[in-house]
Structure 1
Amino acid sequence: MKSEVLQRFSLGKDPTGYTEDRIVEASGFIGILDGSAGPLGEGRNLITAILDSAVATIESLPDNTDLPDLVDLLSREVATRKRIAGSPDMRLDGGFVFCLFAREFSEIWRVGDCKFRNGPQVNDRMFGAEDISASARSMIIKARQAGGASDCEIMEADGYDDLISELLREQCNLLNRANHPLSIGAINGTSVPENLVERFPAEPGRLMITSDGYPEVFSELNDNEQALARLLKEDPLCISVNRQCKGMRPGRLSFDDRSCISIRLV
């Protein structure tokens, strides 16, 4: 299947330009990596090195590299970097998820909760544990609203970004747990169970791949951006129509880093 990149966009939530998303455009693979420093991630050096190394590795791979080999190679590279850095726990100090179009196979490959739309097919896997954490955050903030706190007071309060830090730490222990209903796959240095590695047949037409910084996925970049803007205006704390584990605050560009790439498949 032939492919042509039509649109690409990436923007961090931080106005400094820092982002933990990466766009991949290699001869055999096109898509998105969505990273996280994790609850033990100190600073940005390790996750930045992991993401940049992963992009370089994917760009260097033969086009006929199959999905299990790709996942194994990326996982081993992350494990090696973490061991060198003295990581105390592979699950707690970050990693990434991905969604890639594999040209040689005419397939869409995914580990984790990146999203895609391919014609009428929309696929946005939810991390069950994260949904529970987002609900807990929503309850905490709604309780503060009920107590009289304004949205601005809530956003500017000390600890706003750490309301569910303990829950987020615990949910990392559910990554890469085979057949666990709350688990999801991630490239974090531990083995990714087979049931958490996904492949889908790609259909001719438009393919849009995004990080989870876009709550809704459309075929056009402008539609993704407009839908996100509406949600952020309606629910800046991200506790109702766009329930998330983090929200807006003064100076923040969105609740999360966001990236997308649109591809024509023929």
Structure 2
Amino acid sequence: MQIIESHCHGKGDQDANEDVLVVTESFVLVVDGATDKTGHVVEGMKGGRFVAMVVADLHRSGDLPADIDMNGWIEAITRKVDAELERVSWPAEIPRPAASALAYSVKRREMFRVGDCHYRIGETDYMGGMAIDDHHGDIRSAKLKACLADGAEIADLLENDPGRKLILESLANQYRYANAAEGNFAYPVVNGDPVPASLIEKSVSVPAGSFVVMTSDGFDFPCATLSDTLSAQRRSYDVDPLRIGLDGSKASTKGLLAGMTQHDDQTYVSFRT
């Protein structure tokens, strides 16, 4: 395996970056900690970053067998996160912090995924996503499009987002669908709770010599080069700063905040197997 390009940059303070990129002899790993909505801090970190670091450290430790299959991998990272949340006495009354994880197994030449990170193998894209995010994004988009039709200015909507306010309560309760055993909005996530079999994707084989790109969901348009990926994201911001689907991607739950150069933490890595 040969790493070609890599990039991991937070949307603000790098010390608060909830994305983590890890490359070892056995794995290439992208972890995207879920944005914290609780305000609870452990060991100087918000929950999403804490979980992301736990998963990353497990891969760095070498404790994961190089030939572990995807089900075993999910069980291992789930057990580790559960144990670490227990160690730091995460309060039972506060929703568990979570992360999405995407790994390439060098030994098995397979992609493992829990959550909404993206990857491509050759010219084939495997975009992540969750039905609950699409639902919230569509509600927010409809509200903002109505505001624009009534003459509202984009700058004002970025400063005071009525679409975001409309979905905030539902966003705060989204955790109820995490690793749920049933329901249209159930989604898989790494939070220390078991991932139901119904939410587990099949691993995807990666032929020898393949060109692979892996990203967190902070990139809406993964491309074959980092430069093209960053350019595509900048064009998206120019065309659709509100991020309501005007750029060809799905409507989002949040726009590009004033003074920010990116809407989310962003990670990219490319390599040839």
Q: Tell me the TM-score normalized by structure 2.
A: 0.87
1:58 Cα offset (Å): 1.2
1:159 Cα offset (Å): 7.6
1:30 Cα offset (Å): 0.3
The count of residues paired between Structure 1 and Structure 2 equals 262
**Which residue identity does 2:262 align to in structure 1?**
S
Indicate if the aligned counterparts of 2:16 and 2:49 stay in contact, CA closer than 8 A.
no
**Partner SS state of residue 189, structure 2:** coil
Structure 1: state its 5+ residue gaps: none
Indicate if the aligned counterparts of 1:209 and 1:262 stay in contact, CA closer than 8 A.
yes
Which residue in the other structure is 2:99 paired with?
A: 96
1:200 Cα offset (Å): 0.3
Supply the distance in 2 between the matched residues of 1:191 and 1:79 (Cα, whole angstroms).
9
Indicate if the aligned counterparts of 1:13 and 1:256 stay in contact, CA closer than 8 A.
yes
Which residue in the other structure is 2:262 paired with?
A: 254
Aligned partner of 2:236 among 231, 236, 252:
231
Supply the distance in 1 between the matched residues of 2:229 and 2:93 (Cα, whole angstroms).
36
Runs of 4+ aligned structure 1 residues displaced above 6 Å come to none
Indicate if the aligned counterparts of 1:127 and 1:184 stay in contact, CA closer than 8 A.
yes
Supply the distance in 1 between the matched residues of 2:185 and 2:132 (Cα, whole angstroms).
5
Indicate if the aligned counterparts of 1:35 and 1:97 stay in contact, CA closer than 8 A.
yes
Q: Give the share of equivalent positions with the same residue, in percent.
A: 24
Which residue in the other structure is 2:212 paired with?
A: 207
User: Compared with structure 1, are the counterparts of its residues 7 and 26 closer, same or farther at alpha carbon in structure 2 (3 Å cutoff)?
Assistant: same
1:177 Cα offset (Å): 2.4
Which residue in the other structure is 2:90 paired with?
A: 86
Q: Tell me the TM-score normalized by structure 1.
A: 0.89
**Which residue identity does 2:46 align to in structure 1?**
N
1:130 Cα offset (Å): 0.7
Supply the distance in 2 between the matched residues of 1:57 and 1:233 (Cα, whole angstroms).
39
User: Compared with structure 1, are the counterparts of its residues 104 and 195 closer, same or farther at alpha carbon in structure 2 (3 Å cutoff)?
Assistant: farther
**Partner SS state of residue 31, structure 1:** strand
Q: Please give the residue correspondences for 1:104-183 in structure 2 after superposition, counting only pairs within 5 Å.
A: 104-157=107-160, 162-178=165-181, 180-183=183-186
Structure 2: state its 5+ residue gaps: none
RMSD of the TM alignment (CA)?
A: 2.2
Indicate if the aligned counterparts of 1:111 and 1:185 stay in contact, CA closer than 8 A.
yes
